[in-house]
Structures are given as C-alpha cells and as structure tokens.
Amino acid sequence: MAEINNLMEEIANAALEKNTKIASLALVADTGKVVYQTKNWDLTNQTKIILDAVKGNKEFVLNSLKFSVISNDSTKIVGVNKGGMGAVLILKYKGGLLISYVMPGAGTEGALNFLEQYVKKISEIK
C-alpha cells in the first residue's frame, strides 16, 4: 500500500508541476473498493456510479456534479460537466481504475496524455 501511496503522491506532484489542472485523483479496484484518493475527493460511497459509467452509462453524478460521457473506449472514459464545472477522466488499468477530476477550463487531452504515462506503472504494483 505504501508503494501505491508514493506513486499517487508522485503523480499529484507532477500534475501540479506540469500545470495539468488535475485537482483530484483516486484509484478504485475492479471490486469497487477505493484503494487511494486525494484528501479533497471522497469517492467512498460513489464507486458503483463509477463502475456503472465503465459499463456504459452515458451520464453520472459525482459529488453533486453531473457529467456526460463524451468518449468511452477500451482504455478510458471522459465525462464533462455541461455547465463548465470540469471533467472526470477514468483510465483503466489491470485491476482497477485511475480516476481524476480536471478543473473547469482545462482541456482533457493534456490531462489524459499526462495520466496515460502512469497507468502502466500503476498496473505493475501488486
């Protein structure tokens, strides 16, 4: 668990340094268990919503914000808030999901490119 925490801290720090506008991060296992979450984002009681988005739901609500899925493929899901209140990125890795909240006004493509480089590292941690 310490290895996951260290890697997630590394991702958070790098995201800040690279000005990706990623505000929150979480890891959710395929079972729905929250493995890691930043202190500013509590998804403990919302993992079913996330898993349902992965299964194909076109809309979901996290922490009172509604997101519409604009992209869903075998590796990632992008949900945007139509009111301009940011986006949620869900990247799949072996064993679970890397979830991030991207601040309003930020492009999702840059954040996705940034996070994709860490998915393999997360998958390798046991």
CA distances 7 to 2, 30, 66, 110, Å, are 9, 19, 29, 20
Nearest in space to 8 (alpha carbons), one of 102, 74, 111, 100: 100
Size (the chain), residues: 126
What mean pLDDT is predicted for residues 109-120? 93
Could you give the CA distance from residue 126 to residue 83 in angstroms, rounded to a whole number? 39
Q: All domains of the chain, ordered by start, with CATH?
A: 2-124 (3.30.450.30)
User: Following DSSP, what letter does each residue of 67-117 receive, concatenated?
Assistant: EEEEEE-SSEEEEE-TTSS-EEEEEEETTEEEEEEE-TT--HHHHHHHHHH
Report the pLDDT value the prediction gives residue 16, as an integer from 0 to 100: 92
pLDDT greater than 90 at residue 116: yes
| Contacting residues for 60 by C-beta, under 8 A, at least 6 apart | 49, 50, 52, 53, 66, 67, 69, 79, 88
pLDDT in tens, 9-53: 999 999 999 999 999 999 999 999 999 999 999 999 999 999 999
Confidence of residue 126 (pLDDT cuts 50, 70, 90): low
Entry pTM: 0.94
Cα 42 from Cα 24, distance rounded (Å): 10
